Each structure stands twice: as structure tokens, then as C-alpha cells.
Amino acid sequence: MSQALKLTDLTKHFGGVYALQKVNLYVNEGELVGLLGPNGSGKTTLFNCVAGFYRPDDGRVFLKGKEITGWKMEKISELGLYRTFQLPRVFPELTLLQNVLLSQSHRNESLLDVMFRKSPEAMVKRAETHIDFVGLGHLTHAPAGSLSGGQQKLLELASALMKDPEVILLDEPTGGVNPTLINEIKKMILKLNSAGKTFLIIEHNMDVIMDIAQRLYVLDYGELIAEGSSEDIRNNDRVLDAYFGR
């Protein structure tokens, strides 16, 4: 099985503090992998290094076999990787449709350029299809600011799908979301994974990630301390100590 994403000895420090220390992990094509760890363990820093928001201080990042270490986020996105954020990034005054169409903006376009540019009919239909897919079709022309936090996360997922990424990094997709919507988000992720999308997911809701992930990695103080199935992780003494032994 080919590796969609591979990190070798990934290291990042801020001054004298190491956020990541020689982290090695991989995600196979079509796999759904979870990334766990207490607050401050380095999970979001890892995402930022992979997606081009931070440049690693050492180590290498490979996407579909091609080294992308230190690439800019726009170039990484063009190669087929998309990441979401713990706090959804939406434009509250714009409609859901406008938000999703914005994901197709070009590098040098301003927000105003995109807002007043007439999008091709085919692109609008694609955006509407993705909004329907995440269950928000009845709100297509509503302002994004009227959505709940969980709905905004679904909107961000719809925006991700406009890029047709092969690898999707999700940062706490169910964080702060009500139980009903959590189940909907899980269904969306599993459906996309079944269709061939590859996922690496940060998630603090242990029940959610243990239920959907095929494999799990655990970070603590920037170091990888465990890897394995849900059962392996549940019974790992180092993981239990990281979460409960402080």
C-alpha cells in the first residue's frame, strides 16, 4: 500500500522549547489515522509543519512520495493536501455558497475580487453539491455567521472538498459540537474515507476517534510515545500516564 503522507524525524522548536522532537509517522493512501495527545503535546504544530504554515527545523515531510518539506501552503494544497482548523475559518457576512466558492480563489486575488467575480455555473453547482453533501443545502444562501459551531465545521469540510484533496488534515472536527451533529460529522468523514479520501485527524473526543480511526498515534511533549490500534492505545501505560498521571 502506498504512503500518502510520511514524516521522518520531524522537529520544530520555538526558542529553547521543542514542540516536536524527531517524530516519525505515516498514513497510507485511503487510511483514516488519529493523532492524540494532551494539550500542548505538539499536535497542531505537526499539522502546521505538514501543511506549510511552519517550516520544520529538521526532518522531512513527504506527500504522495514527493518531498514537500518547507513548501508554502499554497503549493502543498495544489499537490492535494488540505487542512482545517480547530476554530473554523469562515466569513460570517458571506453566504455558505460564497464561502465555499472562496476556496477556489487564486493566490493573488483579494476578497473583493472573489466576491464580485462571477463564478462559472459548473463551479457554483459543484459548491452546491458539496454543501448538500454535508447536510447544509437548506442554508446555502444564509450567512455563515448564522451557523452553529458544528455547522461551521461542516461548512469548512465542504470548502475542503471543492479543492478535491487526496489527503485531509482535520483539527478537532467534533470539538465543541453537540452530540447529534457529532454523529453527522462522523458519518461524513467515514463516507469520504470509504470513497478513497485519506485522513489524519486530531481529536480530543476519545470515543469518536477510537470509533473511526484505523490506527492511532499519540504525542506527549513533542515526542511520539505510542502507535497502534484503539485497543493498543487504551492499554498503553505511557498513554495513560500522559493523560492521567500528571
pLDDT tens, residue by residue, 83-97: 988 777 889 999 999
Q: What integer pLDDT is reported at residue 85 of this predicted model?
A: 84
Q: What integer pLDDT is reported at residue 105 of this predicted model?
A: 63
DSSP character string of 66-102: EE-TT--HHHHHHTTEEE--SS----TTSBHHHHHHH
Question: What is the rounded distance in angstroms from the CA atom of residue 143 to the CA atom of residue 28?
Answer: 37
177 or 25, greater pLDDT: 25
- Whether 215 contacts 35, CB under 8 Å: no
Query: Tell me: domain 3-244, CATH 3.40.50.300, correct?
Result: yes
Residue for cell digits 499554497?
Answer: 74
pLDDT tens, residue by residue, 58-69: 999 999 999 999
Q: What φ, ψ does residue 164 adopt, rounded to 5°?
A: 50, 55
Query: How confident is the model over 132-156, as a mean pLDDT?
Result: 93
Could you give the count of Cα atoms lying within 13 Å of 88 in the half-sphere of its Cβ? 27
For the sheet with 3-14, list strands across it.
Answer: 17-28, 3-14, 58-63, 66-67
Hey, what amino acid is at 94? L
pLDDT tens, residue by residue, 174-219: 888 888 889 989 999 999 999 999 999 999 888 899 999 999 999 9
Dmax over Cα atoms in the chain, in whole Å? 57
Q: What integer pLDDT is reported at residue 115 of this predicted model?
A: 55
Locate the domains of the chain by residue range: 3-244
